Amino acid sequence: MLRYRSIFSLTCFMFIFLEVVIGLKLSLKSNGPAVRGSNVTFTAVVGDYAGENLRFAFWDDAQPQHSAEFTLSSNVSTWTVEYPKNLYEAREYTVKVNLLKNFIGFWYLDKTATTVFKLTDSLNGNLVLNQDNLDRPNKFVAVNKTVHHFVRLPENEMEFLKQNASTVITYWFIDCIYIDQTTDMSLNYTYTDVMGDHYIDALVVANNEPLPPITTTTTTTTTTTTTTTTTTTTTTTTTTTTTPKPPNVTEASTPVSTITPAANTTASNEHKISKRAINNKTVKKEKAIKDFICHNSSIVPIGPTYTYGHYQESISIRETISTINITGLNWLQHGDLLNLQVKYSGSPPFDYCAIYKWGQYNVTGNETCVSKTTTLSNTFPLVHYFSDSDQHTVVVVIENEIGKAVSRATINIYKASVHAQLSVIVVPVVFCLVAVILVVFGVAYYQHRSRYTVEVADFDFGQQGHFDYKSFTERLRDSFRNAFDFRRRDDTDPLASDTRYDSMT
Ligand SMILES: *[C@@H]1O[C@H](CO)[C@@H](O)[C@H](O)[C@H]1NC(C)=O
Ligand SMILES: *[C@@H]1O[C@H](CO)[C@@H](O)[C@H](O)[C@H]1NC(C)=O
Ligand SMILES: *[C@@H]1O[C@H](CO)[C@@H](O)[C@H](O)[C@H]1NC(C)=O
Ligand SMILES: *[C@@H]1O[C@H](CO)[C@@H](O)[C@H](O)[C@H]1NC(C)=O
Ligand SMILES: *[C@@H]1O[C@H](CO)[C@@H](O)[C@H](O)[C@H]1NC(C)=O
Ligand SMILES: *[C@@H]1O[C@H](CO)[C@@H](O)[C@H](O)[C@H]1NC(C)=O
Ligand SMILES: *[C@@H]1O[C@H](CO)[C@@H](O)[C@H](O)[C@H]1NC(C)=O
């Protein structure tokens, strides 16, 4: 008997020892930080899961405390806890989960995991700038194009506002100037000053006070347990002290305020008075909000029944690269350097690169630079040597802080030999033609001259006074004789005599 027992305990020990050594990895995460009043979901995940039943025991360190235990045939367990505003203060909380495993009917502790999450006074999430249905990845937005500003809340906070907020108003300020107040947490605004900087403030104010007339119908709905695991659940022992989780509402982008302002529901006579009162109140409130936003006042100008979120962003306005002009010679003789000029519009600085493709290439727009060159100039040269003689496409990719533009130019390179062959044929033909034309014109001219024998050339300067008739051949002969007979020329040249006289005196 004793032997059996010792064998049993030894096996047990071995098993636990192996479990501890090999172990199951356990991780615990929360979807925090979360605003006070909203739900927080914790997810425990077991690695190396072998399909056995597991027990997850969760608890937090809040006062009043929450705890829950789930037995699942799954390696993932989620636990959702509500932290009502009036019970829990804003601070860091710790949540732990124990993973228990079954060994012949006994549950023993295998692993423990811990996570820390934060409950905050104000809403979390962030301010998103969206242009052309794309969220800006940085703080730069395009000029003269509507910027869709909106507050993106975590799902649990969105749910909280939907379930427990009668009104949600967002006040928008740009450079401390009140712009608008909206109920859908979004603002459309177009900036027109290129290279300008702006500071955006959005204050989301949600009223958690129920307004009697309408809100009563929305909360009475079916209840579900807090277990939200998708896999098969064998046994679930829920010992949660939290209130039932609200029904799962499909996610919507805008928290719709469930009620119109009270002023609108009252009788027409009271309507005016109450409206003026509201106006007076809202003016005061707007002033307080402005003080809060612009004058660094730490006093949140709203009461305890409100939940607020303050979002700030500084943005810079830039111009997109809308045109790219590539100019220069794109027909090159083989051996010549490509030398093109690229000009483009947009706000500097620019990052650019050129990609050389063989043959025709159609730009897809998603071409990317491997190595980029940075410039402040709106132009750059493209110099490249092509070793072959084919058609090429040069793709130019230019990026600035808010976008990218791609353009291309087709380059045709012709062989020098093609050019030589051309000249071998064309040049002799042209010269032959010129020669033929010259001969024809020469003959025609000579015939023309001999028919009309008009005196044109006269080389005999000494005989200028004589007008006796001589034929062209006679005159030519005389001229040559005069020109080559120097002695006679000296005697008869009156100009020569004159000079001689001059030199004598
Ligand atoms: C919001 O929650 C508070 C308690 O936290 C409750 O008194 C109030 O009725 C709720 N409001 C709405 C609109 O559900
Ligand atoms: C603001 O812009 C977004 C996106 O362009 C659009 O969906 C929305 O309807 C606009 N809102 C208003 C009030 O014009
Ligand atoms: C409205 O504001 C004026 C001063 O701005 C003040 O005298 C008056 O009492 C206010 N009325 C109400 C109803 O608050
Ligand atoms: C605003 O106040 C905080 C502390 O209250 C301080 O750290 C910060 O520098 C102030 N900012 C400006 C612009 O005055
Ligand atoms: C591109 O060329 C067009 C027409 O030739 C001209 O109007 C435009 O200003 C040029 N753009 C740039 C950035 O040089
Ligand atoms: C480029 O596009 C034109 C017309 O859009 C098409 O005819 C041509 O085949 C395309 N070339 C390549 C290389 O895809
Ligand atoms: C670019 O887009 C085309 C289709 O438009 C796609 O086939 C290609 O894979 C994309 N390339 C890159 C680098 O994203």
Residue 362 Cα: closest atom of ligand 6: 1
User: Can you tell me the distance from the alpha carbon of 6 to that of 329, in angstroms, rounded to the nearest whole number?
Assistant: 95
User: What atom in ligand 4 is closest to the CA of residue 296?
Assistant: 1
Contact between residue 293 and residue 285 where contact means Cβ atoms under 8 Å apart: no
Mean pLDDT of the 333-343 span? 86
Cα distance between residue 102 and residue 50, in whole Å: 13
Q: How far is the CA of 361 from the centre of ligand 6 (A)?
A: 7
Confidence of residue 8 (pLDDT cuts 50, 70, 90): low
Q: How far is the CA of 148 from the centre of ligand 5 (A)?
A: 30
Side chain identity, residue 153: L
* pLDDT, position 319: 92
What is the predicted pLDDT for the residue at 29?
93
Q: Are strands 306-318 and 140-142 parallel, antiparallel or unpaired?
A: parallel
Q: What ligand is nearest to the CA atom of residue 341?
A: 5
Which residues form ligand 4's pocket by a CB distance below 6 Å?
296, 298
Q: Which carries the bigger pLDDT value, residue 293 or residue 103?
A: 103
Query: Minimal CA–CA distance to 462: which of 502, 417, 495, 423?
Result: 495
Q: At 294, is the pLDDT very low, low, confident or very high (cuts 50, 70, 90)?
A: confident
Would you put residue 283 in left (φ > 0), alpha (ψ -120 to 50) or beta? alpha
- Residues contacting ligand 2 via CB (< 6 Å): 146, 148, 188
Q: Is 327 in the pocket of ligand 5 (CB under 6 A)?
A: no
pLDDT tier at 41, thresholds 50, 70, 90: very high
Spatial neighbors of 245 by CB under 8 A, at least 6 apart, are 39, 80, 82, 223, 224, 225, 226, 228
Secondary-structure percent of the chain, ordered helix, strand, coil, rounded to 5: 30, 35, 35
Q: Which atom of ligand 4 is nearest to the CA of 298?
A: 5
Residue nearest to atom 9 of ligand 4 (CA): 296
* Closest ligand 3 atom to Cα of 277: 13
CA distance 503 to 481: 28
Best residue among 272, 276, 280 to mutate for probing ligand 3's pocket (most ligand atoms within 8 Å of CB) is: 280
Q: Are 133 and 140 contacting, i.e. CB atoms less than 8 angstroms apart?
A: no
Q: What is the pLDDT of residue 453?
A: 58
Q: Which atom of ligand 5 is nearest to the CA of 325?
A: 1
- Rounded to two decimals, the pTM is 0.62
Cα 291 to ligand 3 centre (Å): 19
CA distance 340 to 413: 14
SS3 435: helix
- Cα 408 to averaged position of ligand 6 atoms, centre (Å): 13
Q: How far apart are CA 111 and CA 28, in angstroms?
A: 11
Length of the chain: 505
Residue nearest to ligand 2 atom 1, measured at CA: 188
Q: Which helix (H) or strand (E) holds 215?
A: helix 212-219
Res 211 pLDDT > 90:
no
Rounded CA gap, 397 and 369, in Å?
7
Would you state the pLDDT for residue 61?
Answer: 92
Res. 245: pLDDT tops 90: no
Give the dihedral sign, CA 12/14/18/20. positive
CB of residue 358 inside a 6 A radius of ligand 6: no
* Range with the poorest average pLDDT among 312-316, 369-373, 423-427, 437-441: 423-427
Mean pLDDT of the chain: 75
